[in-house]
Chains A and B, each alone.
Chain A
Amino acid sequence: MADAAIDPREFLPPDEPVHLLDPDGTYHEDPEHPVDLDDAGLRELYRLMLVTRKVDREAINLQRQGQLGVYASCMGQEAAQVGSAYALAEEDWIFPSYRELGAALVRQVDAAGLLHLYRGTWLSDHDPYKHHFGLMSIPIGTQALHATGFAMGARLDNNPIVTMTYFGDGGTSEGDPHEAMTFAGVMKSPVIFFVQNNQYAISVPLEKQTAAPTLAHKAVGYGLPGRRCDGNDVLATYAVTKKAVDRARAGEGPTFIEALTYRMEAHTTSDDPSRYRTQAELDEAATTDPIARMRNFLQQRDLYDSELEDAVEEQAKEVATYVRAGIYDAPHGDPMELFEHVYVDPTGYFEGQREQLRAELDANGEG
């Protein structure tokens, strides 16, 4: 039997997703989900979202100019990523998928370095231990188990950190996240499953992905509270995540959060979404833009003026320029590095192949 003290009905998602900000910026206080941020913190959320959008746009441009092989945009999902990542403490960990630019920027991962995965110079560039940010994971949903194992480790070690993993609506269909939730529930792991429901898995819309009443309902079967929030409302994503973080840190176990958002761009730059969704749908989604909403809120609070606007725009431009330069100037990559990190202790036959590559490069004058 599960913990008899917990009424399983408490795990069920609320009828309405938590929503604190209207599109016009009107704030609705929710005593269950306080926003414990000062003015600087509120402005910081805005700044991070805007920088995310600029870097994201830059990455799309870089791909169009042939500098990146492909890129998966997070446009429209800035509030979901920034608000949730901002609710973590610095020592907490994140296990991302491939779309988490916004969360990475919260973690101060070098934005140019992050794009090396998409440029194809190397498969990652940042030190996960420095940023407490795992490697971007392309095989869908797999990172949920890594996050859970990491959280299990922290618990065994009495280390009060919390681990959060991101995956998508499509990811909730794969086996791994379900096994992760099973483990996390049984082990009471301090882990948060943060799902960005952006309505699509490439071309497949949510209604073809699942017959569940909501994605958050899936958590209930594993003994996890299933929570939902407006994913384009950065105060809601922050507050709902913060509550889950506090819960995990207090030893009360994992939480599943579904953030309702929308993927404004193509799945990746290789995708042609006109084959499966309409302009009208996009136009409709654009009316719930997370950044405009937060700007409206700041304006209402007199926290926004042209000085802030200029400073943030300027900074966003700087980062974008930095990313651009970092990618254009990036070295091609050293083919010999292919043999560098495969084994901690490489041995004979493998070394022979390394020599073969060296000889090939020498013969072609590329060494």
Chain B
Amino acid sequence: MAITMAQAINQALHDAMSEDERVLVFGEDVGRLGGVFRVTDKLQENFSEDRCFDTPLAESGIIGTAIGLAMYGFRPVPEMQFDGFTYPAFEQIVSHLAKMPNRSRGTVKLPVTIRIPYGGGIGAVEHHSESPEAYWAHTAGLKVFTPGTPEDAYSMMRAAIAMDDPVIFLEPKRRYWMKSDTELPVETEPPHKAVVRREGSDVSVFCYGPMVRTAMEAAEAAADEGWSLEVVDLRSLSPLDTPTMLASVERTGRAIVVHEAAQTLGMGAEIAARIQEQAFYSLEAPVLRATGYDTPYPPAKLEEFWLPDVDRILDMVERSLSY
């Protein structure tokens, strides 16, 4: 059956709520409306207003109370309506959600999964297309997952909710309508594992979330040029699956990191650092990055010039191969 990524996440939430009555879903417009992307559609109807509820419009409130609920014993799955609206919750996430388990010497567990639709490419108005993953990956104590396929969206969401660590679950909103022929429930690789989506011998392309499909398209186009790209879907940005990354670079000798987020201190910086630290002698070329530019996210009409696409990836492939 063809299922979209949004439906897969909806089903994952539904199944998690069915299995464990401590799972709560809440946020702005997630109840009656079913979320602005309908990812929480029918959860309130199917489970009750106690277990899926609309909150007042306050992101710090949503995450701060999720922490309290988790301390009490619930497994909250709060939603931040858009990437650009997580910032009011920054303090609760960084100072408390990420740190309290450590501060309490492990006595407090905070199994909170924060769902955040993120990234651009849908022609949205300002503040609705941000890629804030590096902030979260930079914060010790948080796990950061981002699926690139409907199957992973289902399976990784189930794993995130079941996990005792707090998870930032980044949903690539431009792939919400991406379809896959699959039966749910489905179990894919554990979320901490990176997955080789396409094997290749010339250049490793590391990508995640919305860019997985773009990288696959680039690999297709590269094949026409006679270049063999290996596409590695990282899936987890914290922790990073370093062994899988290194193994790929050891095979190809070349690496490119692709992400929508701005370049400076984006995930690409950390990935490049690990590769040169640990696979230096395998490298035939410097690790290169195909990313968004170091500017604020552009207005809708200009996003196509800003976002990394097949051409930008191929430019980097060509550059890498020129060494």
Contact = CB atoms under 8 A, between A and B. Distances in A.
Contacts of B61: 173, 175
B145 to A, nearest CB: 25
B2 interface: no
Interface in A166-215: 170-171, 173-176, 201-204, 208-210
Given A174-B57, A201-B28, A69 B125 contact: yes
Interface residues of A, number: 48
Interface stretch (B12-20, B83-91, B215-223): B83-91
B57 A203 contact: no
B127 A276 contact: no
Nearest to B293: A353
B295 A70 contact: no
Interface residues of B, number: 40
A120 B300 contact: yes
Contact of A338 (B33, B123, B293): B293
Nearest to B128: A138
Secondary structure class of chain B's binding surface, majority of residues: loop
B126 A123 contact: yes
Contacts of B57: 140, 170-171, 173-174, 201, 204, 209
Given A204-B54, A204-B57, A342 B295 contact: yes
B295 A69 contact: no
Interface stretch (B96-104, B249-257, B279-287, B301-309): B301-309
A138 B125 contact: yes
Nearest to A119: B301
A356 B319 CA distance: 13
A117 B125 contact: yes
Nearest to B61: A173
8 contacts: A69-B300, A121-B301, A138-B126, A175-B58, A203-B32, A209-B57, A350-B294, A353-B263
Given A120-B301, A275-B33, A338-B305, 18 more contacts: A116-B299, A117-B299, A119-B301, A120-B123, A120-B300, A138-B84, A139-B85, A173-B56, A174-B59, A175-B88, A202-B28, A202-B29, A202-B33, A203-B54, A335-B298, A349-B294, A360-B311, A361-B305
Interface of B: 28-29, 32-34, 36, 54, 56-61, 84-85, 87-88, 123-128, 263-264, 293-296, 298-303, 305-306, 311-312, 315
Interface of A: 69-70, 98, 116-123, 138-140, 170-171, 173-176, 201-204, 208-210, 270-271, 275-276, 332-333, 335, 337-339, 342, 349-350, 353, 356-357, 360-361, 363-364, 366
